[in-house]
Amino acid sequence: MSLDQIAGRFAYNEDHEAFRQTVRSFLAKEGVPNSDQWEKDRLVPKSFWQKAGEVGMLCPTVPEEYGGLGLDFGYNAIVDEEMAYSGVPAGFSLQSDIVAGYMEHYGSEEQKKEWLPKMVSGDVITAIAMTEPGTGSDLQSIRTTARKDGNHYVINGSKTYITNGQNTDLTLVVCKTDPDAQPAYKGMSIILVESDREGFSKGRKLDKIGQDAADTSELFFEDVRVPITNCLGEEGMGFIYLMSQLPQERLSIAVSTHASSQKAFDDTVAFVKDRKAFKGVVFDFQNTKFVLADLKAKLQVGWAHLDWAIARHLKGELTNEEGAAAKLWHTDLQWEVMDKCLQLHGGAGYMNEYPIAKMWRGARVSRIYGGTNEIMKEVISRKL
């Protein structure tokens, strides 16, 4: 089975599906054959980003006046689905679904003209630096500061678990521009930091349980001077900006995790129909069929829910609570799918040479990033 064989998709039109074929062909040619090497290298080369930019896979929502295609989020979702299903590990969703949105909505005209065309082409790779060594989901407790000095900010602090951290050319750094502000969120701003700024350094590429090729790093800021014009939007509005873009970020995670769940399921069906056991195949056992039937039903429900959520988001109606619920449910389901599919592989599932092992390891972080699933329940409960 492939993603276009899933019945009842109603979030996409014919133009979306034509774009899907372009994305799928590109990944089959340029991504899948290189994925194992990138896992060994623990990094996806910048050249792959530029090739993706050439076929329109990066930041499809960016308006044409800034070098983009001016399309809707459905095109981003297609890239997310195809990337996750194919297992190609590049951090495109961070750039296309998160950073581009901040830049489009809050960037100055000068910032948009400078950075968006390069993000679309893949000549610039971006990151957003929120998490700190002592601060995860509680963003109001960050300690990185951006102090005004004349017409510059001077940034000091450190960030960790930063996606695209080694490759980044431009980082959106969440800072305290007014450490004494009460409540604390009113003192937070987003500052653009170019990677060639003096005092900015990239630390370790972090050694993770899974997603080895995914670029996750430490970043350090020691008296980094940037002009005040590098503030994204208004000073003191950083926390508000971050909260307003969360529904799309969490929907993006839900889309990717569900596509990876479908891939694990499809691979497992093929495996158990081929694996010999007791003069038959593993698929012949009632337990195997019942486990797979249960997962198929949940995957079917999940695709319908995602189409509903994507359709609502395209109309600007997806709420923060709905985005949190999508992230919560689909990532929880992903873990159930991965664990049960690995179990059906038997001992082979514990061997890294089988794709299910890599998928299982890579899935564990989904319930943590983008806000832990415990935080998602907190968000949802506020509107009960």
Residue 355 to residue 349: CA distance in whole angstroms: 8
- Residue among 295, 288, 270 at smallest CA distance from 343: 288
Task: Evaluate whether 89 touches 34 at the Cβ level (below 8 Å).
Answer: no
For residue 41, count other CB atoms closer than 10 A to its CB.
12
- Residue among 351, 273, 316, 305 at smallest CA distance from 11: 305
At 209, is the secondary structure helix, strand, or coil? Answer: coil
249 is catalytic: yes
ω into 179 cis (within 30 of 0): no
Task: Evaluate whether 189 touches 235 at the Cβ level (below 8 Å).
Answer: yes
| Cα torsion through 57, 13, 33, 256, rounded to 10 | 80
For tokens 């899948």, the residue is 32
> Of the listed 132, 218, 235, 249, which one is catalytic?
249
Q: Within its chain, how far is the Cα of 108 from the centroid?
A: 25
Residue 73 to residue 163: CA distance in whole angstroms: 21
- Residue among 79, 81, 133, 127 at smallest CA distance from 102: 127
Where does residue 143 fall: left (phi above 0), alpha (psi -120 to 50 degrees), or beta otherwise?
Answer: alpha
Residue 299 to residue 12: CA distance in whole angstroms: 18
Torsion angles phi and psi, residue 145, rounded to 5: -115, 150
Structural tokens at position 43: 């990094």
Q: How many CA atoms lie within 13 A of 290 on its CB side?
A: 3
Helix, strand counts (H, E) of the chain: 13, 9
Which residues are identified as catalytic? 249
